[in-house]
Every structure is written in C-alpha cells, then in structure tokens.
Amino acid sequence: MLLGHYPFRALGSPCELHLWGESRGEVDAVAEAARALVLRIERKYSRYRDDSVVSEINRSSGDSRGVEVDDETAKLLDYAATAWQHSGGLFDVTSGSLRKVWDFKSGRVPQQDEVADALSRVGWARVRWRRPRIVLPVAGMELDFGGFGKEWAVDAVSDLCRARGVRHGLVDLGGDLRAIGPHPDGRPWLVGIRDPRAPERALASLPLVDHGLATSGDYERCMVVDGVRYTHILDPRTGWPVRGLRSASVIAPQCLVAGTATTIALLKGAPEGERFLDGLGLPSLRVDEDGRVSGSLASRAPGSAPRRTAPSRASRGP
C-alpha cells in the first residue's frame, strides 16, 4: 500500500489528508472528492460569503417570516440547539454579532458600550427554530457556525473516505482531526499537541485510531493588549473573551463531539470546565491559566507541571 499526503487550504485554515490506498490513482480520486466536499461545505456555511446559507439566514434577521432551510442545514441547527441546551446556554451560535466588535487583528479592546450593544442581538433562546423554518426575530442578529462547522466537516470527510473504501487515513482540517483506522501495520496515528504558550513545541503526543480529536485554545486568533490576552472564544453572557483555561483537547468517537466539548470547557473556564470534561468521561488534556496540566491524558505530556498539560491545534503525521 502507499500513503498519499494531500495539503490544501479551506475553512480559513491549512488542511491535509493522509490516505492509504492500493494505488496512487485510487487515493488521488478519494482525496479530490474529499477536498471538493470541504469546499462545498465552506461555500454553503461561511459567514464571510454573501451567497452562503448562513448569510441568507442572517440577512433575514428582523423578518418574522424567517428562512426555510434544507435538511442538511436543519441537522446543524438541531445540533446547535442541543449544544446550547446541554451547555446551559454557553454554546450559542447567535454570538455572530460579537465578532463585529472584537477585531483581534486591530490590537484594540472594544468599549463596554460597544460590547453591550452587540450583546443585545445575542441569544439562541430568542430564535424561533422549527423545521424547516428559522426566524431570527431581532434585526442584526447573526448566526456563526464557526464553533462547530469545521469539526462537522471533519466527520463528513471521514465518512466519505470510508464510503470510498479507505480503511487507513487521517483527516486534518485546521488541526481538528479524525483517524480512519490505524496505519496498515496496526500502529496508531500519532498526533502532536502544541504547547499553548510555545506553539512551535509539542506538549504531548497522542495515539489516535478511529476517533476524532479537537482542541480549543486561547492562543489562536487572539491579541495581547497591555499584557492581557484576549482570545476569540467569547462568553455569550458577557460578550467578553473567556478566561481560566489556556487550552483543552478531547478525543471522542466524532470530531464534532470532541470540538463541542472543548469549546464548552473553555467557556466554563477553570475549574468548572475541567469538571465538565471529567464528567463526560472522554479522554482529555487541559492547561489552565497557570500552565498546570490536568485530565486523563496528562501522562502524555512529559515534563509538564503536575496537574498536567494541555494542547493546542494538533499536528499530524504518520
């Protein structure tokens, strides 16, 4: 068998597929189909594209008629509703309007009145969602699938590869991962987890077989102003960046579940987010604000401070 590596860029991130197959032509064809799927998902759900479904829904805000969506979009909205409910309202896809006041490239911290104004248009509880129609009742309200769209795409690509006959592979979309079986010789895929304060360094190396792995951290899309770090993960209750955990990584049967769990953990902060992950019973690795590592995978982070480490966007490799 041969191993093909297929890097490309999508979803605002570097992506790569690692696929084993019997022939170059076979894996090339699967990789091209997988890449096309990712690009289709990006076109359909990117909030940066005027022709996406998300933009169409957002343009309808304030219109009591709302928008009728297809079954694929309905499944995503059902998942968003479930995640909101099980997170106590923390996982909220209506936080899109907050992105307009938090520009992490600007180096500017918004004023409280700006945040409060954006926050007035946030709240899944106000959304009217009943298949197939969604209504955003407040003008200016916006959905943002950025909190789970990439992880959902990872699972979709993994399913496609399996359906095309791939039995050994690794899907990596911007550091959110799912392994398809082990390597042909039975070895697991080894995935490096970055140190959230030294991204060039691996904090841990995790074996992955037939599972998804996702990491959320305060080190990507962030800014440091007057010594204070402001991360892109925003609390929908306050409109301000979360604090308490530098990063959290979770392994789960689906990447979507892993990614939702890590996001909720960061939204809850420490120690509540750590207790939340422990309660899920999923393998996890966390780093708190003081650099202390914890979680069932902490032993995979040699040299870290007791109470053990946590990661970042995973790197991949055979």
pLDDT confidence of residue 302: 77
- Among candidate residues 297, 51, 260, 276, the one with its CA nearest the CA of residue 154: 260
Q: Are 256 and 177 in contact (CB under 8 A)?
A: no
pLDDT tens by residue, 174-218: 999 999 999 999 999 999 999 999 888 899 999 999 999 999 999
Q: How confident is the model at residue 305 (pLDDT cuts 50, 70, 90)?
A: low
Please state, in angstroms and rounded to a whole number, the distance separating the CA atoms of residues 177 and 90: 24
How many Cα atoms sit within 13 Å of 270 on the Cβ side?
18
What is the average pLDDT across 273-289?
97
pLDDT confidence of residue 312: 37
pLDDT confidence of residue 16: 98
- Among candidate residues 218, 267, 263, 217, the one with its CA nearest the CA of residue 238: 267
Output the six-digit token pair for 218. 């305060």
Confidence check: pLDDT of 315 > 70? no
Q: Are 57 and 134 in contact (CB under 8 A)?
A: yes
pLDDT tens by residue, 15-73: 999 999 999 999 999 999 999 999 999 999 999 999 999 999 999 999 999 999 999 99
pLDDT tens by residue, 74-84: 999 999 999 99
pLDDT tens by residue, 134-163: 999 999 999 999 999 999 999 999 999 999
pLDDT confidence of residue 55: 97
DSSP 59: H
Please state, for a pLDDT cut of 70, what percent of the chain lies above it.
95
Among 181-185, 191-195, 281-285, 306-310, which is the least confidently predicted range? 306-310
- The partner residues of 65 in beta bridges, in order of sequence, read none
Please state, in angstroms and rounded to a whole number, the distance separating the CA atoms of residues 22 and 36: 22
Confidence check: pLDDT of 317 > 90? no
Confidence check: pLDDT of 171 > 50? yes
